[in-house]
Amino acid sequence: MLIIPAIDLKDGHCVRLKQGVMEDATVFSKEPSEMATHWLSQGARRLHLVDLNGAFAGKPRNEAAICEIVRAINNQIPIQLGGGIRDLDTIERYLDNGITYIIIGTAAIKIPGFLQDACNAFPGQIMVGLDAKDGKVAVDGWSKITGHDVVDLARKFEGYGVEAVIYTDIGRDGMLSGINAKATVELARELTIPIIASGGITNIDDVHILCEIESEGIIGAITGRAIYEGSLDFKEAQILADKLSKSTGIS
């Protein structure tokens, strides 16, 4: 089980939002590249970056900060990136600049054929982000709830060849209210591709819960506010996840 630190970028800074509200942002670092190397030093084996401005604007807005993070990490661990990615040229540029995985969210729903084209053009490097509330998918930086059922869309996108699904319960994201294990497992059971869970991780108890459901196909969990505010010790969490995974024969 990978515990994956999130670095959410707004105006070049590392921030965290509550339920995706841009006006409710807490700045945790004005030097995101330093934050990235901090998590690397704590044992992170992957980083999760989000261009928040880009997610709302529909095009990259924090590319300079992203490139600084890539240079700081220097290919030591994979980096996955989402937010404002709406065309193949942007994907190609980010991959050429050192990003490992591209996460497509809103564009997978709003631009017909784009996700499938991306999977065909960049096999093994495209993930889809499905952000949901009460089982319905949200788009445009979570500002709009659609009528699309998350399970139905996940099955469709699996057929396109996405590498993994990043599933976020936006009702819990940034609220430190615990993960929605039930919804995450229900989605994972409908798919053969891996799930990366996101939203609501609060403390070490959530790591125990995640490891208990790892066998359902949940390979990792993204954490943000909890590791920045201190309710979860990241290093301790990854060590525990490794220990529990080893004890169950999952790695």
Which amino acid belongs to residue 193? I
Beta-sheet pairing, 47-51 with 2-10: parallel
Find all residues with CB under 8 Å of 242, minimum gap 6, and list them. 1
- Distance CA(249)–CA(251), nearest Å, equals 7
Class of residue 249 by CB neighbours under 10 A (exposed 0-12, middle 13-18, buried 19+): exposed
Find all residues with CB under 8 Å of 64, minimum gap 6, and list them. 12
End-to-end CA distance of the chain: 7
CA-to-CA separations, 184 to 53, 213, 238, in angstroms, rounded: 27, 9, 20
Is 242 annotated as catalytic?
Answer: no
Is 8 annotated as catalytic?
Answer: yes
- Kindly name the residue from 51, 131, 169, 206 that is annotated as catalytic: 131
- Kindly name the residue from 8, 51, 169, 173 that is annotated as catalytic: 8
Both tokens of residue 221? 């969990």
CA-to-CA separations, 150 to 116, 128, 178, in angstroms, rounded: 17, 12, 20
- Distance CA(37)–CA(195), nearest Å, equals 25
Which of the residues are catalytic?
A: 8, 131
